Structure 1
Amino acid sequence: MKNCLAVFILVLSFCSLDLYAQEIDTIPINTKDLNIKLKRSPLPSRQGPLNFEPVKIPPYIVNAKVNYWKTKTSIGINVNQAQFSDNWKGGGVNSVAVGGLLNWKAEYNKNNYSYVSEVILQYGKIKNKDQLQKKTNDRIFWDNKASFQLSKNWYFFGSINFESQFDKGFSYETVNGTETATLISKFMGPGYLTESIGFEYKPSKYFSTRFGTGTARQTFVLDESLFNDPDPTKPPKESVYGVDYGKTFRNDLAFQIVSAFDKDIFTNTNLKARYAMLIPYEDFGWNRIDHRLDIALTAKINRFMNTSLTGIALFDEDTGTNKIQASQTLALGLAFIFPR
C-alpha cells in the first residue's frame, strides 16, 4: 500500500511539473529593446528583370452629336359658350366664342453666334344671337434675329420681321335695328415688313433691348377697296395706314427700340412682354412715333389647362386715330407644350 501511494505521488509530481513548464513557455516576452536579427535563408534565390508588354486597347467611340438648336411649341384653344332659354328674365344673349393660339420658337447658339426665330399666330371669333360674327383676335407675327456677341452683355444683330392678320376686319354700326359692317382691314391690308440692324443689350436670359440704328419698314395695303369711303357718294380716302391712294406700299427709314421680357415670375406663372418703338427719320415728331406694347400673363392650372390675361396698347396715327388704342382678353382653355 505504501508503494502504491509513493508511485501516485511521483506521477502527480511529474504532471504538475509539466503544467508548470507549459505555463512558463506561454509567458510573453517584450522585444522592444532587443536587437533581434533573423537569419538569412540558406536556399539560393534569383531575381531577374520584370518584362512588361504594352496591350493595345481599341478606343471606344461614342456616337453622339451636339445639338445647338432648342425649340418650343405652345398650342392653346379657348372656347366660351352661353345659352339662355326663351323665357329667361335675367337678360342675356346666346353666344359662342372660339380662340386659338400657336407660339413656335427656335433658338440656335454656338460660340458667339446665335439665331432666334419666333412665330405667333392668334385668331378668335364670337357669334352672338341675331348679330354678325365678329373677330376677337387676329394676328400673324414672325420675327427672325441673328446676332454676334461683342462683349458680355452686348451683341451686334440683324433682324427681319413680318406682321399682318388672317381675316377681314370690320367696323360695326346699327341703323334702324339692322347691324351693318364696313371693311377696314384684311390680310396685307395692312401688312408690315421691318428690317433692322444695330446693337442689342442682353444682361440676362429673360430680358433684352434692341437699338435698331438702321431700320427700314414697309407698310403694305394690297386691296384698293380699303380706300373706299363708307359713303359711296364721297371720293376715296387719300391714305390708309400711311399708304397713299394709288400705291400699294410705303417705305420708312427709322430708329427702332424693341424690349422683350419673358420669365416665370411665380410658380407656374409666366409673364411675357414686348415693347416696340419706331421713330421715322424723315418725318420726325412726337406725334409720329409709333408705340406698341404686348403683355401676356399665363398661369398653368394643370398639365393641359391654363388661364391667360393678355393686353395690347397701341399708338399709331397711320391707323386713323391720334389716341391710344387698347385691347384686353381673359381666357381659360387647353394648352399643349412641346417638348415637355
Structure 2
Amino acid sequence: MNKISYVFACILLSLAIAQNNNTVTKSMIGSFNFTQSSHDNWVQGGEDVLSWFLDIKGDYKKESERSIFQGSGHANYGKTKISDTDARKSMDELKLDLLYTMKMGWTVNPYISAQLLSQLAPGYAYTDTNKTQISAFMDPGYLIQTMGIGYSIDDKFAARFGASVKESVSDQYPIPNAENPDATPDKIRTEFGFQSEFDIKKQFGEKTAFTSEIDIFSNLEGFDLIDVIWDTNLNTKISEYLQFGFQYKIVYDRDVSPKRQIKSVLSLGLNYTFL
C-alpha cells in the first residue's frame, strides 16, 4: 500500500468521525452450507464427497443532514474433499468497501470511495502428484480509490462515476502478465483511470432479495483492457434459519487472463442474523 492509499483511508475515516446528528443502521448475516455423501460396497459406483463453505456479509451506514458514510464487507471460504484426496479450497473471497457521499441537494452528489479485494487463505495449483502455492492473503491484493459523482434512488439503485487509482500489490506470488508470461511480473502495479459502478437491489416480498453489482475500471489504454467484475446474488429465506442462495460472478481482467472468468454457486444451508 503506497501513500495514495493511506491518504484515501485517512480522509474517509476523518470524514466518517466528523459526522454529527447521525442515524446509524447496521447488519451482519452469516450462512453455513454443508454437504456429505459416502459409499460402502455401492455397486453403482460413486465417490465419497465432503463439502462446506461459510459466507458472512456486513453493512454499516451512518447518515447525517449533509453526508452519508457507508461501509460493507463480504467474506466467504469453503473446502471440498473428494474420496481420498486432501481437502481443496472451493471458494475464498474478501471484499471491503468504504464510501463517503456529500449530500448537496443536487441530482448527483460528489463522493470518495475505497475498495479492497483479496482472499483469506493460501491458494494452490494441483497436479496428480503434488501441489504448488500460487497465492496468499493480500498476495495478490487489489486497492481501488475513486473520487467522482454518484446518483441513487433510495437503496434500490446507485450509479457512480469517477477518476480512479487501481493498485495491484503482491509479495511472494506476483501475477504473471497474461500477454507476456515470460516477463518479470511487477510486485506493485499502479494504474490511473476511470471507474464506474452500478448497484441494483430488489426485494421480492419479505423473504427474497436480489442484488447485482457491476464494477468497471478502465486505464484508458484500450477497450480490451477494461476490467469488469459483475456479481449477482439471489437469496430466499425458506424458514427462520434455512436459506437458499444463488451467486453468478463474471470477472474480466486481461492482466490476469485473456479470457473471462465465471463462478456460479448454488447453496442451501443455515442462515443467522447477528445484527
| TM-score, normalisation: structure 1 | 0.70
Contact 2:238/2:244 (<8 A) preserved? yes
Aligned to 2:10: none
Aligned letter for 2:68? S
Which runs of 4 or more aligned residues in structure 1 lie more than 4 Å from their structure 2 counterparts after TM superposition? Answer: 238-242
Aligned to 1:69: 24
Where do 1:278-293 residues align within 5 Å?
Answer: 278-281=217-220, 284-293=221-230
Aligned to 1:219: 168
Alignment deviations for residues 266-324 of structure 1 (CA, whole Å, 9 cap, x no partner): 4411111111010003xx111100011111110001111101011110111111x2111
Do the aligned partners of residues 302 and 150 (structure 1) sit closer, same or farther apart at CA in structure 2, a change above 3 Å counting?
same
Q: 2:149 aligns with which of 199, 218, 226?
A: 199
Give the aligned CA root-mean-square deviation in angstroms.
Answer: 2.3
Contact 1:239/1:245 (<8 A) preserved? no
Contact 1:190/1:241 (<8 A) preserved? no
Contact 2:230/2:249 (<8 A) preserved? yes
Do residues 251 (structure 1) and 190 (structure 2) align? yes
Shift of residue 265, structure 1, vs aligned partner: 2.8
Do the aligned partners of residues 113 and 155 (structure 1) sit closer, same or farther apart at CA in structure 2, a change above 3 Å counting?
same
Do the aligned partners of residues 276 and 246 (structure 1) sit closer, same or farther apart at CA in structure 2, a change above 3 Å counting?
closer
Cα distance in 2 for residues equivalent to 1:79 and 1:139: 18
Shift of residue 132, structure 1, vs aligned partner: 2.9
Do the aligned partners of residues 134 and 153 (structure 1) sit closer, same or farther apart at CA in structure 2, a change above 3 Å counting?
farther
2:76 match: secondary structure: strand
Matched positions, count? 254
Do the aligned partners of residues 89 and 130 (structure 1) sit closer, same or farther apart at CA in structure 2, a change above 3 Å counting?
same
Where do 1:98-247 residues align within 5 Å?
Answer: 98-151=52-105, 153-174=107-128, 179-212=129-162, 214-223=163-172, 226=173, 245=184, 247=186
Cα distance in 1 for residues equivalent to 2:175 and 2:260: 25
Contact 1:153/1:203 (<8 A) preserved? no
Question: Which of the pair has the greater relative contact order for Cα pairs under 8 Å at 6+ separation?
Answer: 2
Shift of residue 247, structure 1, vs aligned partner: 4.2
Do the aligned partners of residues 246 and 328 (structure 1) sit closer, same or farther apart at CA in structure 2, a change above 3 Å counting?
closer
Please tell me whether Structure 1 or Structure 2 has the larger radius of gyration of its CA atoms.
1
Unaligned runs of 5+ residues in structure 1 are 1-65, 230-237
Unaligned runs of 5+ residues in structure 2 are 1-20
Contact 1:241/1:318 (<8 A) preserved? no
Contact 2:22/2:63 (<8 A) preserved? no
Cα distance in 2 for residues equivalent to 1:228 and 1:101: 26
Shift of residue 331, structure 1, vs aligned partner: 0.9
